[in-house]
Structure 1
Amino acid sequence: MWNSITDGHGAVTARPTWLEARAIAASAGAGAMLPPEPVALDRAVGRRLVDDLVTPIDLPHFASAAMDGWFVVGDGPWRVVTAGATAPAGGQAWPIVTGAPVPDAPEPGLPIAVLRSESGVVEDGLLRSTVAAEPRPDHHIRRPATEAGRGELLIAAGTLLNPAHVALAAATGADELTVQAVPSVALVFTGDEVVTEGVPPTGRVRDSFGVQFPALVRMLGGRVTGAVRVPDHHDETVAALRDSRADVVITTGGTGGSSADHVRAALLALDAHLLVDGVAMRPGGPTRIARLPDGRLVVALPGNPLAAMVAAITLVEPLLAGLAGREPVPTRVVRGTDVEGRAGTTVLAPYTDVGGRAVVAAWRGAAMLRGLAGATGLLVVPHEGEPLSLPLPWPISTGSPVEI
């Protein structure tokens, strides 16, 4: 059920639950989904593959030596000859290096192999093996299609590409891969009280957004293309929103209802459509999601650090996922927690796993980051129903999975 609230102008607006706001964010992104794009292999790592990669050739596509040594035909000892266009005759050998093509046997049924450099010795032009078990037929020869045959699926669509994936793609002859788009994000940081270095004096606060949001946005599936800081001033806030060139604009601060908060009014001045005008969640209730007339999406986050982080992790991520054409990070039901929701409000809190139980951090006030810094995940506790868990977008170095 949606909650009714009154805005600063006396109009009654609907405030969705956290689950509803998350669904709206995902839908807004999906409605403006960006097209996939082809990228060169060296830019594909960390991107999500759109189409299955099927190899058009055998891997390997020709027989080759797996070791430096000699290509030998038949039984030894072997007379060493100069490599030519055709295989040596039985009882002959030629020097070979790793990766060099290996010819077919000169006669059907005649064994061929590669004898390793360290397993042979040449005296008076005659090669002898120094290891009794070497070589066996086909020893140290890489045969075609031993890794994959032509037409075989190598990388499934939807895979998050790693360096080994792109190297494998290169082996098939690919020069580029089609990957999901990465939405561009512009950051707008508001606030007269913010300082960007050193210890802030009384009445001022240290910037906690500029140092982390570029990395956070990347972890959530976007790429930051610009960032500006604006004072608590209506016209400058309007200009920053108007002039930010990106698929998504994320603002921090200025979402409340005081005389110093201008983001909502700036959005309305730009004829933005408010998709989410506050959320029934704590912390992060003043979060807003809007669409500007030119199609850009805006996520306005609160100014308190934990509130902004919680809102970004839980609401920005599904919006970016929709734009990229992927599914949002799924929630999971959590067992083993005594935290209760509040009437009409979803409580979000960083937690750690202790013996299979979700223990909420002691430091979970809207302005506190200490609890989140050491958390296992985010606990989502609706006013009714089962608690849920969302993973954090960064690796967790301690703790074990919560019992689910």
Structure 2
Amino acid sequence: MTERVVIAGAGLAGCLLATLLGRRGAEVTVYERRPDPRVAGAERGRSINLAVSARGLAALEQVGLKKQALERALPMHGRMVHPVGGGAPNFQPYSADRERAINSIGRAELNAALLDAAESTPGVTLRFSRRVTGVEDGRILLDGEPGERARVVLACDGAYSAVRGSLDGIGCDQDFLEHGYKELTVPPRADGGFALDPDALHIWPRGTLMMIALPNLDRSFTCTLFWPKGDFTALDGPRKVRAHFEAHYPDVAGLMPDLEGDFARNPVGSLVTVRARPWVQDAGGTLVALVGDAAHAIVPFFGQGANCAFEDCIEIDRCLDGTGGRWDRALALYQERRRPNTDAIAGMALDNFVEMRDRVSSPLFRARQAAQHALERRLAGRYMSRYELVSFTTVPYAEIPARIRRQNLILGAAASAAALAAGTALRAAVRAARGGGRPAR
């Protein structure tokens, strides 16, 4: 493989894909609109800590970064749900054995490791402060001006992809939540310890005003507010901010000495689901394909955005293997295989938002979760909850809803049979007690 490949975007997916393609012998140039974040630093307040799980780890292992990522991550074995009024939080393990965990890692740190991996791969060149704004007549456009020719352009430039927007043949549905997000920080305690339990993803379910917190290696927590955008603007002064947090998040408000400053400084981000159609287009002799958020951005409530984008990269590499390096066939196959999976996780991520903000504090939800874990222990390998299938396996996303339906049908049939048997036994016992049974001989 010697064809010239351009990747737009040096984020997580762009760097992983560049490393995979460089190892195949491709000449890859990666353009990134930002300065090198390893030098300039990450954008403040826009990280949303990553929850890397089985799918992401499997992808990182392909480029030798799994061990490094886990060494720089903190495992979270469950959710810690903080009730209204500041009462004692309750811990809800993610798995029946309480041993499986998702891994909290800073986006900037993982991006830096992937940049290093790409930069050290022969054939890969990184160019910063240059933005690919489109493809025209077989050339990429750099900041609107004609640039180099490329046989293949892979758009890894995010949910608001400039490459996607430049192509007339690609449609895009963008569904915005009314909610935005803003990041805050809980620093370490005065003695250097964690202010909250670091073994959990913390949730303050307050309906439309949910907050979560994920631990960092420096013993701080990155908190993220998911609120309707109007609620951010309503808190238009430091006193209102402090009063609101003391009323709604009393057990954590005192752990944020710079709450008012963080709230004022950090921007409000948008939450969008992107569904592009198609993902692949021939643009004047240049094959263009959308990857990651450019093709299928999802909301972050299942922690699968990066994991899903990493699977895209692995699938492209696998499709090139299966087609003998034929880019046209490989990209068509990539789209065919991946799109049903990304549609499935987009729906599950939206549903998990409702679970996190409304259901996790319900006693009925906790009872159902306990029952699921009991079934997982009793029927190991045959019954798995949706959360475990998404987070702790690499079962294709598209297969998960049907598997859950089959499990529920089987359990429903088993429960009905058990109820019928119990009813028959009860009726027989009643008849015997009334003397209606056949006397023993």
TM-score by shorter chain over 0.5: no
Which structure is larger by alpha-carbon Rg, 1 or 2? 1
Superposition TM-score, scaled by structure 2 size: 0.21
Superposition TM-score, scaled by structure 1 size: 0.23
Report 1 or 2 for greater relative contact order, CA contacts < 8 Å, sequence distance ≥ 6.
2
Higher helix share: 2
Higher strand share: 1
